[in-house]
Amino acid sequence: MQQDSSLKILVWDQIEDRVKDLRLKKQTIVLTTGVWDLMHDGHVTYLENAANWGHALFVGVDTNARVQRSQKGSKRPILDQAIRLRTIAGLASVDHAFLFDDLESLVKIVYPNILVISPTYTEDPEHKRFGIANPMDIRIIQIPSMSQTHTSGIIQDIVAKYGHGA
């Protein structure tokens, strides 16, 4: 049977409807977010681990504008948000994927049972994950990095190997 992973890509109205359906079925909703630029084994492992915490994994993909406002800087993302979104939706561990620009609005609309974060977010005050999730009684799970591969390292390797004219 052939699958069309683009069906996992949701817009905001669809997120709300899907969440209501899952809540009626008493299923555990897991949310995580990220840039997901230059996908690598660390991203895949992280998302597989996140999916194991519930029945449905919702993955927010940072918009290009959000990434550029973040600590990643004006040269990121490397890949456009549409490409990053489609790539995330193509992973078996991901049930639903969507773009987001505002974390607080996203957490309020999904209102997950569990918010999964990586270790880097505990030190990053811009993401405000703890401050948003705690008053809503959302369980926060921190998944440690299981990979030595990081997007910034990939970028550095490409520049070192191919220079600026690759």
Pick the CATH number of 5-165 from 3.10.20.30, 3.30.70.2190, 3.40.50.620, 2.30.30.830: 3.40.50.620
Contacts (Cβ under 8 Å, ≥6 apart) of 50: 30, 32, 57, 93, 116, 141, 143
pLDDT (tens digit per residue) in 69-94: 876 667 789 999 999 999 999 999 99
pLDDT of residue 51: 98
Q: What is the value of pTM for the model shown?
A: 0.86
- Report the percent of the chain where pLDDT is more than 70: 76
pLDDT (tens digit per residue) in 1-37: 557 888 999 999 999 999 999 999 999 999 999 999 9
What residue spans define the domains of the chain? 5-165
CA 159 to chain centre: 26
